[in-house]
């Protein structure tokens, strides 16, 4: 069966929590050291949804294989047109196009909401898959912050990438100040 990308639902929280826990414990996409429980993941998701941000899942045959969301890049009002993307894929689904499908639909959703810039904050310069995925969908390298975090017994850098959305910065923002 084909891959379906759709808005997340409350029923997806166990899968979302498990996918994120694996990423926290075994990867560098998140700089968290201890995976949060389902109640905390539900709180985080609800806060994003209440803030008007998209939160998507990808599923195949009813099984959630990954999720992605956009959130505020920074909380100060001048950043209101800029979002940061987050994408997490179940280990067994990596390398199968799930991340590409999620990121593409996330970009489309953010453009429809008139966000103007998407920022990717990628943990670890060695995250070649994530860097390549973002590059293939129009993100450009903005910079690298060397040794900003320490996890799994080593210093990690953060790779910053950005992509214009919709009208980009050609016109003033239309998003209201919250």
Model pLDDT, residue 21: 98
Q: What is the pTM of this model?
A: 0.95
Q: Report pLDDT for 121.
A: 97
How does the average pLDDT of the chain come out, rounded? 96
C-alpha angle with apex 138: 28 to 95, nearest 5 degrees? Answer: 45
CATH architecture entry for 4-164: 3-Layer(aba) Sandwich (3.40)
Pairing of strands 154-164, 117-123: antiparallel
């Amino acid at each position: 069966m084909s891959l379906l990308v759709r808005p997340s639902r409350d029923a997806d929280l166990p899968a979302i929590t498990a996918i994120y826990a694996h990423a926290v414990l075994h990867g560098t996409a998140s700089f968290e050291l201890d995976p949060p429980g389902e109640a905390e993941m539900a709180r985080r998701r609800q806060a994003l949804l209440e803030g008007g941000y998209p939160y998507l899942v990808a599923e195949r045959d009813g099984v959630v294989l990954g999720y992605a969301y956009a959130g505020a890049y920074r909380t100060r009002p001048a950043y209101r047109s800029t979002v940061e993307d987050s994408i997490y894929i179940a280990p067994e689904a990596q390398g199968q196009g799930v991340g590409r499908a999620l990121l593409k639909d996330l970009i489309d959703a953010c453009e429809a909401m008139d966000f103007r810039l998407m920022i990717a904050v990628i943990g670890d310069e060695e995250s070649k898959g994530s860097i390549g995925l973002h590059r293939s969908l129009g993100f450009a390298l903005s910079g690298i912050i060397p040794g900003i975090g320490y996890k799994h017994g080593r210093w990690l850098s953060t790779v910053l990438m950005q992509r214009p959305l919709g009208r980009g910065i050609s016109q003033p923002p239309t998003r209201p100040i919250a």
